[in-house]
Structure 1
Amino acid sequence: MSDRFMIYGATGYTGKLVARTAKAQGLNPLLAGRNEARLKSIAAQHGFEYQAISLDEPEALDAGLSQVDAVLHIAGPFSQTSKPMVDACLRTGTHYLDITGEIDVFEACAARDEEAKKAGVMLMSGVGFDVVPSDCLAAHMKARLPDATELTLAISGLGQMSHGTAKTGVESIGKGTRVRRDGRIVTARKTPRREIDFGEGPKPAVAIGWGDVSTAWHSTHIPDITVYFESSPQLEQMAKMGSVARWVMSLGPMQRALKKRIEQLPEGPSDAERRAGYSVLFGEAVNAEGASVRTLLRTPEGYTLTAMTSLEIVSRVLAGEAKPGYQTPSAVFGPDFIAQFEGCSYRDLNA
């Protein structure tokens, strides 16, 4: 191997943004994906090498990965693409990084912890906005209240989604609202709601089955975890769906129709929208006696932050900071990892 990394999925919205950011940082990734014509065009813009590789061609995938030390896997939906890439990474001894926010993908990678340790490979899902800031915030809350038994995380300021992110959301409709209770991931009988102050007064928030329901437990072992988004009409509509409606929306014909509609939308936020955007994350930890701590974390817009955090983690892995096995961002790099990025800052509300 050659102290080099691959960006797989370089032709989508996030992949193109990460490739552009890599060029600005002086990095030299190998671009890969299925569509050779689109890869060739993007690679030519930046002077990168490229290879057209399909995930259902194991020999070609292994040959591509044998040229690099790590892969930054950006091709979603990860429910379909993660396993073949992880399989190939374990075969070739290549460190695996992705930008998923899908609970099932995190749990599938965690289940391969021992396999990864034996292969000397680090499996780290969620190295972008999903879930670096919220995972670091979870670890920060644990450090502030070491005996915490309940953890609440909430996110405000999410803007326009890329096609890939929107399609992942569509795929999750049938799964209901998942939370963690007594250390186990369960589906809530009724979607939790509460008001959360993101810094400008209380706002209604709706619980969602976000990736931290998985990762925050692996990072902190706090047994009860709920994740919220600031409420929106779309989230309210989903939260009010009954089990029958969710089942209908999860069927193939409905899924295809919804994804076709997504393809008609803009590919993702413009550069100007990304520069103007930001997010605020809220963390609250409570212990068995009722003591609580609360913290706000401000970050740049999500896709901008994804490019920043994912490439920093790639650079650290290439520098030898990988830890074999399944890992979360805060477990390897610590709760203050997020604070090093421009535009990111913690504010402890009851220090």
Structure 2
Amino acid sequence: MAADFLLYGSYGYTGRLIVERARAAGLTPLLAGRDAAALAAQGAETGLPYRAFALDDTAALDAALREHRVVLHAAGPFSRTSRPMVDACLRTGAHYLDITGEIAVFEAVAARDAQARAAGVMLMPGAGFDVVPSDCLAAHLKRRLPSATRLQLAFQGIGGISRGTMTTMIENIHQGGAVRRGGRITRVPAAYRSRTVDFGRGPVSVTTIPWGDVSTAYHSTGIPDVEVYTRVGAGARRGMVASRHLGWLLGSGPVQRMMLKRIRGGPPGPTPEQRARGASLLWGQAEDDAGGRAVARMRTPEGYTLTAMTSVEAVRRVLAGDAPAGFQTPSKAYGADWILEFDGVERTDVE
């Protein structure tokens, strides 16, 4: 069976959702990853072709990419896995998509824009919930207020969280927060700032987190000051504040191993029922120095469901030839209104 694209990390929680979505869209992924046993089981279950190789096996990786014009990279944490895959895409001329939400990954990939343009390759990290809806919302607000100099984005997930997402969070828990000031990413304490926003259900308190849009919103809009917030419970916020003083401990090997072991013992992610009942709520505000302001809200399907939807559609577009060369954010590649093409997405201008 001929495959349309390479899906690396196909047997992970989100990878499996992407497989389902791709098949429903009439696309055939080549299942790939480093775990041969997991791939064999997934191949037997789905009837799809598969190939096992590690990212440090340059010959096998390049061979797989030379056979496919696009890879959707779903094996995190991307801080460890994105570079070898991007390197291989630049060597072989394959287009790169991933589902990261990690600031450092976005910035590292953005730094390779010139290489990608020279190679005729599109590099678009963040093709999932991180950061398609929020990036499109940021671009929409910039369109409404072209003079904007400050951008605040916030989101609330209703559903659950996967082991992969929790692993990335734990591995970065000791690094504190991040915002963008004057166009530069600036490290700040965890839970640096809180404020009240209305996602459409009444005012709620949200707290800053080092989310991917701290990187991508600037590349998409040019707005120099960016903050990203999420809703967290009072206990979780206290834990974030405590991490300011305990970062050295939380980042230590023994504590990291203990926390990661607990994560591996939990469920892989939200159940289908939880995802069906879930949703993601977003809010954004752009301001300029003259007192102008634009505010908008968005509601989307649950985050992992949306990730499968947007990443597969991105693959479909690339396969159809819609793949602008260089580093791209979702809104730069496909426009601020791209997110509105997906079922269950609503955007409302508040004022």
Bin for the TM-score computed over the shorter chain: over 0.9
The structural deviation recorded for 1:172 is 1.6
Query: Residues 20 and 46 of structure 1 are in contact (CA less than 8 Å); yes or no, is this contact kept in structure 2?
Result: no
- CA distance in 2 between counterparts of 1:235 and 1:216 reads 26
Q: Residues 48-87 of structure 1: matches in 2 within 5 Å?
A: 48-87=48-87
- The equivalent residue for 2:319 is 318
- The equivalent residue for 1:36 is 36
The structural deviation recorded for 1:82 is 0.4
Which shifted more, 240-249 or 121-130? Answer: 240-249
Seq. identity, %: 53
- The equivalent residue for 1:126 is 126
- CA distance in 2 between counterparts of 1:44 and 1:161 reads 27
Query: Residues 296 and 346 of structure 1 are in contact (CA less than 8 Å); yes or no, is this contact kept in structure 2?
Result: yes
- CA distance in 1 between counterparts of 2:233 and 2:124 reads 31
Which shifted more, 297-306 or 18-27? Answer: 18-27
The structural deviation recorded for 1:128 is 0.3
Partner of 1:296, secondary structure, is strand
Q: Which runs of 5+ in 1 are unaligned?
A: none
The structural deviation recorded for 1:12 is 0.6
Deviations 1:85-113 (A, max 9, x none): 11111111110000000000000000111
- The equivalent residue for 2:184 is 184
Which shifted more, 188-197 or 73-82? Answer: 188-197
The structural deviation recorded for 1:234 is 5.3
The reply on whether 1:332 has 2:330 as its aligned counterpart is no
Query: Residues 243 and 250 of structure 2 are in contact (CA less than 8 Å); yes or no, is this contact kept in structure 1?
Result: no
Deviations 1:167-194 (A, max 9, x none): 1111221221100011000012571110
- Structure 1: which amino acid aligns with 2:237? E
The structural deviation recorded for 1:158 is 4.1
Which shifted more, 101-110 or 22-31? Answer: 22-31
- CA distance in 2 between counterparts of 1:104 and 1:159 reads 26
Partner of 2:339, secondary structure, is helix
- The equivalent residue for 1:97 is 97
The reply on whether 1:114 has 2:114 as its aligned counterpart is yes
- The equivalent residue for 2:138 is 138
Which shifted more, 239-248 or 10-19? Answer: 239-248
The structural deviation recorded for 1:316 is 0.2
- CA distance in 2 between counterparts of 1:305 and 1:131 reads 11
Query: Residues 3 and 30 of structure 2 are in contact (CA less than 8 Å); yes or no, is this contact kept in structure 1?
Result: no
Q: Residues 19-30 of structure 1: matches in 2 within 5 Å?
A: 19-30=19-30
- The equivalent residue for 1:218 is 219
- Structure 2: which amino acid aligns with 1:280? L
- CA distance in 1 between counterparts of 2:116 and 2:252 reads 34
Deviations 1:55-76 (A, max 9, x none): 1111111011111000000000
Partner of 1:45, secondary structure, is helix
- The equivalent residue for 1:231 is 232
The reply on whether 1:252 has 2:253 as its aligned counterpart is yes
- The equivalent residue for 1:302 is 303
Deviations 1:188-216 (A, max 9, x none): 25711101111111101110000000000
- The equivalent residue for 1:343 is 344
Deviations 1:34-86 (A, max 9, x none): 11111122122222110001011111110111110000000000010000111
- CA distance in 2 between counterparts of 1:290 and 1:233 reads 32
- Structure 2: which amino acid aligns with 1:146? P
- The equivalent residue for 2:288 is 287
- Structure 1: which amino acid aligns with 2:254? P
The structural deviation recorded for 1:138 is 0.4
Partner of 2:315, secondary structure, is helix
The structural deviation recorded for 1:20 is 1.5
Query: Residues 79 and 102 of structure 2 are in contact (CA less than 8 Å); yes or no, is this contact kept in structure 1?
Result: yes
The structural deviation recorded for 1:3 is 8.3
Structure 1 runs of 4+ with >6 Å offset: none
